[in-house]
Amino acid sequence: MVPDLGLGPEIWLLLTLLLSVCIFVSFRRPWSLRNLDLLLLFVLAPGLMALVGDGESDRTLVPFLWLFFGTGLWLLRCLLDLGLARRPMLEPNLNAPGLTCLSVGMIVLLVAETISLPIREGTARNPAASDDGKVEPHGAVGAVSRVQGDHDDAALPVPTEPGVVRWRSTQILVSRVLAGLSHIGVVLGLWMLGRTHFGQPIAGLSAAALYLVMPYTRIEVVDSGQVFPAALIVAALVWYEMPARAGALIGLAAGWMPASVGLIPLWLGFYRGRHAARFAASSLAVAIGCVLSGRNVPVLSRWAEAMGARGLAQAGLVPGQETPTSGSLWSGLDPAYRLPVLVAYLSLVIVVSIWPLRKNLGELIALSAAVLLASQFWYLEKGGTMVLLYQPLLLLMMFRPNLAARRAPRAERTSEAAAPPLLRT
């Protein structure tokens, strides 16, 4: 029994699977691609459920191996999506007003739980929570530290200053508010993409409703470190026709979560001419600004970490860093074993940045999801557990129509091309 979820993990998984099947499975076309994608979404659930509320599971490799297996399947699915041009329209079994009612009700419950969930339950529920966040003072609940010595693992209460407790409580409250707003941003972004760029509002509503129903969303509901960059990436897709704005959003996502750094060269390969220069300037300026601010402004760095931002050390990108003792597939392994994985990841980023040569919006969505999925293999701490980071992109890939006509905005015409016909030589 897992009190953090209110139900046993198996029962909770079956309930969400049943609801998803009833609403989104096309029973008239049982072998459709969307039905297969829906079932494939739940392939990560057994590994993630095994880590929910069970600290002993962090010391075993079986859940992480399962997560890496599911991540690899989805990575392959994203790459295969590049060759799937035909996209038949498959409406859900619930109409638009029903999906809207379900989405509004779920987002209200989700945001309310995000803010009201006790601190200890929020960290115990989320397998992707930072190890540093689990040992810090827990606000009004009281601080408990582990004393290493003759009595290992003996929990002793440690008095804390009231000011420190209030400061930590304020940081956690701000983090929870950021997570709630990010969930709302993801839902609104999915709906706007379906309405504006897909030309099918029902597709955006379906992606938003499924995002709220999926078990991963509730398991990692308070993880602003994942949800915030996910909302930024979805917003960048909404404004992909504005390279400077999209670049700033992608740069902020990369500065907040190092796993998103690979999106910068991918999106740079999506644009052409002056638009590519604008995207590069805004994305690199924001990303580098985040790194410099984190190193030179300690107060800002502490606040960012308290609100869920991940650092380069957690990603394993600091030279000479040792592997963690638990909570990762790389636990106890020599760091040299990660080098081939990093090289393979960089090779993938380079290839997808230049191929296809002219990407459309559908290919950009699939490749962005592939880059984020591939980052889970080399991410040092909690690699494979950060499902919310790429889950909105997978849902967009599932429900999108044919987007071959949706490409990067064309570069401005030269003065000669823009001149009136009578003035041309």
Structure tokens belonging to residue 105 = 């009700």
Q: Give the C-alpha separation, 176 to 60, whole Å.
A: 30
* pLDDT tens, residue by residue, 254-279: 999 999 999 999 999 999 899 999 99
Structure tokens belonging to residue 214 = 């999926």
Report residue 46: phi and psi, to 5°: -60, -40
Cβ neighbors of 285 (< 8 A, separation 6 or more) are 248, 251
Binned at pLDDT 50, 70 and 90, residue 197 comes out as very high
Q: Give the C-alpha separation, 377 to 400, whole Å.
A: 27
Q: What rounded mean pLDDT belongs to the chain? A: 84
pLDDT above 90 as % of the chain: 54
* pLDDT tens, residue by residue, 300-334: 888 888 888 998 888 888 887 777 766 788 887 87
* pLDDT tens, residue by residue, 371-397: 999 999 999 888 899 999 999 999 999
pLDDT above 70 as % of the chain: 84
The pTM is what? 0.88
Give pLDDT, residue 56.
56
Structure tokens belonging to residue 191 = 């709906």
Structure tokens belonging to residue 47 = 């590994």
Strands 154-157, 144-147: pairing is antiparallel
Q: Which helix (H) or strand (E) holds 145?
A: strand 144-147
Q: Give the C-alpha separation, 118 to 293, whole Å.
A: 31
* pLDDT tens, residue by residue, 104-151: 999 999 999 888 888 777 777 788 887 654 434 333 332 223 333 333
1-15, 118-132, 237-251, 311-325, range with greatest mean pLDDT? 237-251
